[in-house]
Amino acid sequence: MKRIVFLCIMLLFLVGCADEAKVTIPEDLPEFVQEDDFASVDWDKKAVEFGDRGIIGNADKSGVIGANMPSLSTQKWMWHLWGIDEVRDTELTIIGYHRDSKVVQPILVDGWSIGLGGPVNGADAHTPSHVKIPQSGEWAILLYTNGKYFDTLIYDIQE
């Protein structure tokens, strides 16, 4: 009898752990994005304001003007990236990952990717975009340039 109770408890534990790790990935997710990318998100590394332009992100790597007043309605955000050598023909792919629901989805209104423009506000590259955050909570925004992982921005969006 003890053995059956022990096995049931272990089974419930394993089922609970399996549900916790499940990530919902859309079919049209760019092929270079891997499920392991979401498992490696450091939720404690929150985006912070830096510089004098109201950029919220990871200093000297990536950040956004417009993220200082995040909302669930469509907004205009201007992305800034440092360390981009060849801006011409560089495509920025932006992947949203919601911490609680574990849902992966685009946050750009027009899809997954957008082209980058030249230097502005001290960054090597930038691009304006329209974003729509679909639900409140903590979001990891994974950035890729030309199909290679670039950075992750962690935002808490409640309004």
pLDDT at 7 over 70: no
Compute CA distances 125 → 4, 22, 63, 64, 134, whole Å: 61, 34, 11, 12, 27
Structure confidence at residue 131 (pLDDT) = 95
Mean pLDDT of 10-30: 67
pLDDT of residue 71: 67
* Three-state secondary structure call for residue 19: helix
Per-residue confidence (pLDDT) for residue 20, from 0 to 100 = 55
The string of pLDDT tens digits covering residues 105-135 is 999 999 999 999 999 999 999 999 999 999 9
What average pLDDT score do residues 49-73 get? 88
Average pLDDT over the chain reads 88
Lowest mean pLDDT among 70-74, 79-83, 124-128: 70-74
Over residues 92-111, the mean pLDDT reads 96
Q: Report the C-alpha gap between 33 and 130 in whole angstroms.
A: 22
Q: Are 102 and 119 in contact (CB under 8 A)?
A: no
48-50 and 91-98 beta bridge pairing: unpaired
**Please, where are the H alpha helices in 24-100?**
35-39
Please give the pLDDT value at position 22. 87
**Cβ neighbours for 67, distance < 8 A, ≥ 6 positions apart:** 47, 56, 57, 77, 153, 155
Three-state SS at 151: strand
Predicted local confidence at residue 16, as pLDDT: 47
Predicted local distance difference test score (pLDDT) of residue 52:
84
127-149, pLDDT tens digit by residue?
A: 999 999 999 999 999 999 999 99
Bridge partners for 124 per DSSP: none
